[in-house]
Structure 1
Amino acid sequence: MKINKISVIISAILISASTAACFTIHKNMRSKPSENLSKLGNITEVTSTSKTRDLNSIIHENQKSVVSLEVKNGSKSTTGSGFIYDKKGDIVTNAHLIKDRLPIIIRMADTKTYRGKLLGKSEITDIALVRVDALKGKNPMKISRDKKADIGDEIIALGSPLGPQNTADIGIISGSNINFSLENYQYKNVYQISVPVSSGNSGGPLLDKNTGQVIGIISTKADNKSVGFSIPINQVTPMLDSWSSNTNTTEFSTQNRDSYENPKPSTKNAVYLVSYFYSSLNSKDYVTAYSLLGSGWQGKIPYENFRKSYLQTISVKTDNMLCHQMENGSIEVSASIEALEGNETNSGTNTYNVIYTIGYENNSLKILSGKITPAKQQ
């Protein structure tokens, strides 16, 4: 859907892929620990107090709790977004995405895939709650239970409109207390927002840009495709909490229950995983980045050595990204890398050529291996 954007789109993970070429960001990776962390001398961890870094941190941290949701009906499927609501593994989404008795597939930011069960679904308000037992204990998003947003408040809209993608858009609350009906659902006192709302964005969280807390559920778009709407979260938390406490759940049909499991990664998902890996590194989230490596690679480099090898990285750029499907089903990803390394007072740019192998390990997509070779300085 085309929307008039009030401000520039912030995308923590930018993805475009085809069978021939794809784009991502990168930092040099080594398959073995390096004793000399930088030729620039002793490097200390770079920190930043800039607003850009703060915004990127809010986006990155919250995207870990945003999910891509798919409801399968034979060969057809409905896709949307959702987010982790509590530590019970409950996920908030839109009711119009959920079809009773059909499989609910949840994909996390790290591409791990789970089956969900329906806890509650409203026939009037466009909200639903799905539980994934395997996500019990995972950090939920911070919910603003009391705040009512005002017109002009800056917001961040998160979602996965094209499957595992994790886009982020910046905008404002452009209207409030909007009332209308759509497909038998009653939207009362909802927010009008100035960011895109596609079918895949439905169910994603709307954040307060200053606090990073959830203030709404992205739900639908206007017929003229110029605005979107979000249900205020504080209107529905009593209903969500009631469903969460109810032990009666609706299981989906077990027919073709494993049909979503794909032992061969797509080029799109391979590019996404590499992008998410480097987005994590750029956000100094080394734990998440390390978790995306295959067990074989992790066995060669302990976490602390992995973390230290990236403390010198300030920023990275990439070019000439190519993707190749291998005979065993894995994806080979290659790129040219430009890395600014050092600290804010002592830094230099180095270029590298890299190759990665992306594949599944225990039904989770991983970066299985990689190698790096220095390139001529530009």
Structure 2
Amino acid sequence: MRKGTAISVFFSMLIIGLGAVGAYGIHLWTERQLSGGPLLATGQVKAQAAAAPKTAVNAKKTRKEIIEDSQKRVVTIESGDGLGSGFLYNAKGDLLTNAHVVAGSREVMVRTMDHREYTGQVIGIGTDLDVAVVRVPELKDTQPLPLARSGKAEVGDEVLALGSPLGLENTVTTGIISGVGRSFDIEPYSYSNLYQISAPITHGNSGGPLVSADTGEVLGINSAAATEEAGIGFSIPIANVLKQAEEWSQRPMAELPGASGGGYDTAESDGLEGSRSLVASFYQSLNDGDYVTAYSLLGSEWQSGTAYEDFRSGYLETGYISVGTLSAEEQGDGALVTVDITAEERRDTGTVYQTYQMSYSVGVENGKLKILHGKGKKVD
């Protein structure tokens, strides 16, 4: 072979060789980018890729998922004095709620989202602090709501208020933290460093959780409203009450202040006086505009024939009701309560004051004293 020809062949082979090395290097570089690891031989890259564990991605929950998860752990609480809400805060089956929801009761009825009903025991209740703990043994080991144990919510944070406003269970209202550090007194309770929220709070919401719309953690206990029209509510920060609640869960109170055994439990224990008190409470609730509590004092037959919305609308044009002397006499297993009332009625022609003679059949239903039936007539 001539020298020129040999040199040409040499450079041709060199170029081919360099091209092969370059292609192999590009192949390895590409696999390196895909594997995210150091430059390895092809076999090592494939082996590493096969052996590498798949990392789970903790996707942030959507607003809908937070609501669905939270509602499963929120309950309706019915005591002798009315309705409220509560939520599971530990795995012992303990519920947090407001003291004013269960005041005067040792036992309350607890209803879950799937309409199961249990008897709950009040194991701790505040006298100045509006918080209480109710234990439901059947809910033990049920996953509780996550709690914001540290840190504080700030103005502008988006929140969800869950509960049973006006007896409408599984209700969610949305809003923001519109103020912090609010303090006031509503006898006998003292409220301090509250969250002010734009999510409306009304009768039946009390004791329900205020939940972060971003994390699903409980920020507070919904406790009070300015007025229904104002659309402003107040919530006790969870960090302010958690220590006391956990002490009650560890060491339940042996005696509850003001407890009467669970409201109007039996006609035998309360007798005719209990029946008179029940009817008096019915009218007091109407005068307070607390139609949820008034409705809860009615028996199941009365409620089945009159929806809550119809019951409430029937009193919207009624002002203050003056209640005369209540009298009661035995009637079968219960009592017959009679009373004369004078109602302030707003009509198109003006306000009139109408007197009625009312009579109510009172008896025990599911362990609670209820107004079973009622009738009245105008007194000219």
TM-score (norm. length: structure 1): 0.52
**Unaligned stretches of 5+ residues in structure 1:** 1-48, 270-362, 364-378
Residues 1:105 and 1:62: Cα distance change in structure 2 (over 3 Å):
same
> Aligned equivalents of 2:170 and 2:83: distance in 1?
14
1:258-285 deviation per Cα after TM superposition (whole angstroms, max 9, x unaligned): x99979996999xxxxxxxxxxxxxxxx
Matched, 1:193 2:201: no
> Aligned equivalents of 2:114 and 2:298: distance in 1?
16
1:216-236 deviation per Cα after TM superposition (whole angstroms, max 9, x unaligned): 000001147421100000111
Amino acid at match of 1:243: W
> Aligned equivalents of 2:211 and 2:132: distance in 1?
19
Find 1:148's aligned residue among 145, 152, 157: 152
Deviation at 1:253, TM superposition (A): 3.1
> Aligned equivalents of 2:211 and 2:109: distance in 1?
24
> Aligned equivalents of 1:64 and 1:263: distance in 2?
29
Deviation at 1:56, TM superposition (A): 0.9
Task: Tell me if the contact between 1:118 and 1:129 (Cα under 8 Å) persists in the aligned partners.
Answer: yes
> Aligned equivalents of 1:207 and 1:136: distance in 2?
22
> Aligned equivalents of 2:68 and 2:209: distance in 1?
13
Matched, 1:99 2:92: no
1:277-296 deviation per Cα after TM superposition (whole angstroms, max 9, x unaligned): xxxxxxxxxxxxxxxxxxxx
Summarize the alignment of residues 31-70 of structure 1 with structure 2, pairs less than 5 Å apart. Answer: 54-70=62-78
1:185-238 deviation per Cα after TM superposition (whole angstroms, max 9, x unaligned): 111110000011111001000011100000000000114742110000011110
Task: Tell me if the contact between 1:94 and 1:127 (Cα under 8 Å) persists in the aligned partners.
Answer: yes
> Aligned equivalents of 1:174 and 1:208: distance in 2?
14
Q: Secondary structure at the match of 1:62?
A: helix
> Aligned equivalents of 2:220 and 2:169: distance in 1?
20
1:246-266 deviation per Cα after TM superposition (whole angstroms, max 9, x unaligned): 144559738449x99979996
> Aligned equivalents of 2:243 and 2:299: distance in 1?
35
> Aligned equivalents of 1:63 and 1:240: distance in 2?
21
Q: Which portions of structure 1, spanning 4 or more consecutive aligned residues, are displaced by more than 2 angstroms?
A: 99-103, 247-257, 259-269
Matched, 1:89 2:93: yes
Q: Secondary structure at the match of 1:60?
A: helix
Instruction: Tell me the residue number matched to 1:122.
Output: 126
Considering Cα pairs closer than 8 Å and 6+ residues apart, tell me whether 1 or 2 has the greater RCO.
Answer: 1
Find 2:261's aligned residue among 229, 253, 257: 253
Deviation at 1:165, TM superposition (A): 1.8
Task: Tell me if the contact between 1:68 and 1:164 (Cα under 8 Å) persists in the aligned partners.
Answer: no
Residues 1:113 and 1:87: Cα distance change in structure 2 (over 3 Å):
same
Task: Tell me if the contact between 1:117 and 1:131 (Cα under 8 Å) persists in the aligned partners.
Answer: yes
Summarize the alignment of residues 1-378 of structure 1 with structure 2, pairs less than 5 Å apart. Answer: 54-72=62-80, 77-101=81-105, 103-163=107-167, 165-223=169-227, 225-226=229-230, 227-248=232-253, 253=261, 255-256=265-266
Larger Rg: 2
Task: Tell me if the contact between 1:191 and 1:232 (Cα under 8 Å) persists in the aligned partners.
Answer: yes
Deviation at 1:162, TM superposition (A): 3.7
1:47-81 deviation per Cα after TM superposition (whole angstroms, max 9, x unaligned): xx999x81111101100000001102xxxx41011
1:170-196 deviation per Cα after TM superposition (whole angstroms, max 9, x unaligned): 110000001111122111110000011
Instruction: Tell me the residue number matched to 2:317.
Output: none
Residues 1:266 and 1:59: Cα distance change in structure 2 (over 3 Å):
farther
Identity of aligned residues (%): 41
Task: Tell me if the contact between 1:145 and 1:234 (Cα under 8 Å) persists in the aligned partners.
Answer: yes
> Aligned equivalents of 1:136 and 1:267: distance in 2?
36
Task: Tell me if the contact between 1:117 and 1:252 (Cα under 8 Å) persists in the aligned partners.
Answer: no
RMSD between aligned alpha carbons?
A: 3.2
Residues 1:101 and 1:69: Cα distance change in structure 2 (over 3 Å):
closer
The aligned length equals 216
> Aligned equivalents of 1:96 and 1:182: distance in 2?
11
